[in-house]
Amino acid sequence: MRVKICGITNLQDALEAVNAGANALGFVFYKKSPRYIEPLKAKEIAEKLPPFVQTVGLFVNENEEFINQICFDAKMQLAQIIDDFDVLNYEKISFKYIKVIRAKEKKDLLNLNKEYYLVDAFVDSFGGEGKRIALDWFESIDCSKFILAGGLTTKNLKEINGFGFYGVDVSSGVESEVKGIKDRQKMIDFVKEANEIK
Ligand SMILES: O=C(O)c1ccccc1NCC(=O)[C@H](O)[C@H](O)COP(=O)(O)O
């Protein structure tokens, strides 16, 4: 089970997430988020990471040029893209990317097996709200290309056992009481638990 820890805003949290065993770190380039990070600061963090940790830039309804520029400036290896209006020409994205499905109902998860998707619960603020997706929506669906996000914590992670998700994504579930600041022990516990899930 791959684990992405999203909403990294400082080097200490980044290194602690890596030491906890996270495979990928998410950086939010959406200015209205409490977890927004300046591209230059994200770059400084990215440059200090050890090998084999993927940097993921998160974009909300931005154009191709903006996504390419920020991924380049901030040294992101993957773009995580919310494109609510379905307007992007993905051939113009020069970086690897993963599309986000903001699921409102089971129907949103059907016929999606061709590529990898990050499946998050629909929230007005776009993410990081701790809202869960009903797990029964995934029943009888191939989840092997889905990264599940939305309200995951060590308290509920076991419930996804058996669905065969490719990975999980967590933000608020491993935070301290301050949004954007991670809790080291929560990250350690989360990754440990995630690694036990099939
Ligand atoms: O985290 C944010 O503040 C955020 C803001 C705008 C768009 C997306 C955002 N986060 C996206 C993520 O990938 C989160 O990890 C995902 O929504 C899960 O968050 P949580 O439910 O808090 O674990």
The partner residues of 120 in beta bridges, in order of sequence, read 102
CB-based contacts of 33: which residues, under 8 Å, 6+ apart?
Answer: 7, 125, 126, 127, 128
What residues act catalytically?
Answer: 6, 120
Ligand 1 atom closest to the CA of 36, numbered from 1: 3
**Could you tell me if residue 43 is left (phi over 0), alpha (psi between -120 and 50 degrees) or otherwise beta?**
alpha
Q: What is the CA radius of gyration of the chain?
A: 16
Phi, psi of 88 (to 5 degrees): -75, 145
3-state helix, strand, coil in the chain (%, to 5): 30, 25, 50
Ligand 1 atom closest to the CA of 174, numbered from 1: 23
The domain containing residue 167 runs over which residues?
2-194
- What is the model's pLDDT at position 198? 84
CATH number of the domain to which 156 belongs: 3.20.20.70
Q: Is 9 in the pocket of ligand 1 (CB under 6 A)?
A: no
- What is the model's pLDDT at position 49? 98
ipTM of the predicted structure?
0.96
Q: Is 173 in the pocket of ligand 1 (CB under 6 A)?
A: yes
Average pLDDT per consecutive 10 residues, the chain (198 residues; last block may be shorter): 97 98 98 97 98 98 98 98 95 97 92 89 87 93 95 96 96 96 98 94
Q: Is 62 in the pocket of ligand 1 (CB under 6 A)?
A: no
Q: Residue whose CA is closest, atom 1 of ligand 1?
A: 128
pLDDT digits (tens, 9 = 90+) for 88-132: 999 999 999 999 999 999 999 988 868 999 999 998 988 788 899
Q: Residue whose CA is closest, atom 8 of ligand 1?
A: 127
Domain count, the chain: 1
Q: Is 6 in the pocket of ligand 1 (CB under 6 A)?
A: yes
Taking alpha carbons only, the member of 79, 60, 53 closest to residue 68 is 79
- What is the model's pLDDT at position 87? 96
- What is the model's pLDDT at position 126? 83
